[in-house]
């Protein structure tokens, strides 16, 4: 536990958290929507500080990040809690819980985490992932500062539901992001995630403006966000606001948590993928094994520059500066 950042005391022992757009007002003893920040004696406390649900080295492609040091390994950590309540959450055991109910996990100090990052000779840095890293913001910040001081990279895999001030504060320590853009309607965010779309769009624009590496994930759920007109509107917004070369991971949905809708058909996924590729240079399919749509194709000459077989990566058609060896086109690779 540690004292939380971004809150203010209001009257009668109440506090208001300003970390994410819920801006929860908490009476004494209350927890916020994320279930991991609590008003204890009139102070806002981050209860999950140092509590890790997973710590392991993983391929950067698994985050997923395909244009950020492809083929490298990154030390990946997660805690518990989330500020959204997606009814299809595939990590609900760690995202929809609290420190009282979560009996697994282990506490690590930031120094211990940094120590473990040295256990892999080619480790790139630290990925904050698995549950929503915004809800362990203080822990993430302490680790990210130390990672940076050691000359390593930090990446954040997030739902993008974060207020502007904390996002601006963490940006200098982050090198790459994968942000979930779950749908392009407020009604989807409101009913299915218990969040809002607008702050996510604003976070995406702030990250882009800060010049950070940014990839976007969209999970395609039948009957929930499979309106092709709305999807196309989202793709056009990405192109306009984030750039035509924005990497998009279009992921296949499988039933999980409270959602028993049938998995996304491959036909629907391929159809939406084709639409996205009309407007964006780099569109990949997620949760589809053995698919050629995991290869990186040069946006100019159409040749394969990076081949992916699962997490086996071959960078045969690209140099270390991201130049296509077939046509000299510059490919966005950090
Ligand atoms: S971080 Fe948690 S407590 Fe703070 S506003 Fe968001 S949901 Fe509420
Ligand atoms: S934002 Fe991610 S971790 Fe949080 S509830 Fe939604 S799917 Fe789960």
Residues with CB under 6 A from ligand 1: 17, 19-20, 22-24, 32-34, 37, 83, 135
| Per-domain boundaries in the chain | 2-46, 51-289, 295-334
pLDDT given at position 61: 95
The DSSP-derived string for 150-188 is TT-EEEEEE-----HHHHHHHGGG--EEEEE---S-HHH
Per-residue pLDDT in tens (0 to 9) along the chain, 334 residues: 899 999 999 999 999 999 999 999 999 999 999 999 999 999 999 999 999 999 999 999 999 999 999 999 999 999 999 999 999 999 999 999 999 999 889 999 999 999 999 888 889 999 999 999 999 999 999 999 999 999 999 999 999 999 999 999 999 999 999 999 999 999 999 999 999 999 999 999 999 999 999 999 999 999 999 999 999 999 999 999 999 999 999 999 999 999 999 999 999 999 999 999 999 999 999 999 877 889 999 999 999 999 998 888 999 999 989 999 999 999 989 8
pLDDT at position 121: 86
Give 166 Cα–ligand 1 centroid separation in angstroms.
12
Alpha carbon of 258 to ligand 2 centroid (Å): 12
The model carries a pTM of 0.96
Q: Among 119, 115, 108, 46, which Cα is nearest to 78's?
A: 108
Give pLDDT, residue 119: 86
Ligand 2: centre distance to CA 94 (Å): 10
Question: Residue 303 in contact with residue 310, Cβ under 8 Å?
Answer: no
Atom of ligand 2 nearest to the CA of 95: 3
- Kindly list the protein residues whose Cβ atom lies closer than 6 A to any atom of ligand 2: 82, 84-86, 89, 91, 95, 131-132, 159, 193
Determine the distance separating the centroid of ligand 1 and the alpha carbon of 249, expressed in angstroms: 27
Tokens (6 digits) for 174: 């982050």
What is the edge-to-edge ordering of all strands in the sheet holding 2-3? 2-3, 43-46, 37-40
Class of domain 51-289: alpha beta
Q: Which atom of ligand 1 is nearest to the CA of 4?
A: 4
Confidence (pLDDT) at 302: 94
Question: Which atom from ligand 1 is nearest to the alpha carbon of 6?
Answer: 4
Residue 286: its H or E element = strand 282-286
């Amino acid at each position: 536990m540690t004292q939380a950042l971004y809150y203010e005391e209001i009257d009668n022992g109440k506090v208001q958290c300003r970390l994410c757009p819920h801006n929860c007002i908490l009476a004494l003893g209350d927890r916020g929507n994320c279930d991991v920040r609590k008003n204890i004696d009139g102070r806002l406390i981050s209860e999950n500080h140092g509590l890790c649900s997973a710590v392991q080295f993983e391929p950067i492609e698994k985050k997923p990040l395909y244009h950020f040091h492809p083929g490298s390994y990154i030390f990946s950590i997660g805690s518990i809690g989330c500020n959204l309540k997606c009814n299809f959450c595939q990590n609900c055991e760690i995202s929809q819980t609290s420190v009282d109910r979560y009996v697994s996990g282990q506490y690590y100090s930031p120094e211990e985490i940094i120590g473990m990052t040295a256990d892999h000779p080619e480790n790139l840095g630290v990925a904050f992932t698995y549950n929503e890293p915004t809800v362990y913001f203080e822990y993430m910040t302490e680790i990210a500062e130390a990672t940076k001081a050691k000359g390593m990279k930090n990446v954040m895999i997030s739902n993008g539901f974060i207020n502007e001030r904390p996002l601006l504060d963490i940006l200098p320590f982050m090198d790459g992001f994968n942000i979930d853009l779950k749908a392009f309607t407020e009604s989807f965010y409101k009913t299915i995630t218990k969040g809002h779309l607008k702050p996510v769009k604003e976070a995406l624009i702030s990250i882009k403006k800060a010049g950070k590496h940014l990839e976007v994930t969209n999970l395609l759920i039948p009957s929930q966000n499979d309106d092709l007109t709305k999807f196309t509107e989202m793709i056009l917004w990405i192109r306009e606001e984030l750039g035509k070369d924005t990497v998009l991971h279009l992921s296949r949905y499988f039933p999980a948590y409270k959602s028993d809708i049938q998995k996304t058909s491959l036909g629907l996924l391929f159809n939406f993928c084709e639409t996205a590729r009309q407007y964006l240079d780099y569109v990949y399919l997620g949760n589809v094994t053995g698919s050629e749509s995991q290869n990186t194709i040069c946006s100019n000459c159409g040749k394969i520059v990076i081949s992916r077989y699962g997490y086996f990566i071959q960078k045969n058609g690209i140099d270390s500066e991201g130049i296509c060896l077939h046509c000299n086109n510059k490919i966005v690779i950090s």
